[in-house]
Amino acid sequence: METTKLSSKGQIIIPKWLRDAYRWEAGLEFVVIDTGEGVLLKPAHPFPPTTVDDVAGSLPYTGGARTVEQMDDDLRRGIGGAWNDRR
């Protein structure tokens, strides 16, 4: 276990090995959460902003475009199967 000190300006140094492990760089904003036993720091924006166009190409579907009705039918079948599995 490592220790660190609170500076007179209220700053704490996060050890380099942790910054490297989480790929935290200077300027990263954190959300500070009081847990009652201490403080939890979480990146304010853990993932870079993306759009559907950024990620849609990674989806494995290779068929033609589906209609809304076809997607609704697929969802009904999927939900029905999941519902029946829980009984």
What are the boundaries of each domain within the chain?
A: 10-47
Q: Can you give the pLDDT at residue 84?
A: 57
- For the entire predicted model, the pTM comes to 0.50
Beta-strand runs (E) in 1-87: 30-34, 39-43
Residue 52, token pair as written in the block:
């559907």
Residue 14 CB contacts under 8 Å (≥ 6 apart), including other chains: 4, 24, 41
Note the residue count of the chain: 87
- 3-state DSSP assignment of residue 43: strand
Q: What is the pLDDT of residue 25?
A: 92
Return the SS3 of 42: strand
pLDDT tens for the chain, residues 1 to 87: 889 999 999 999 999 999 999 999 999 999 999 999 999 999 998 777 888 877 776 677 778 888 999 989 988 888 776 555 555
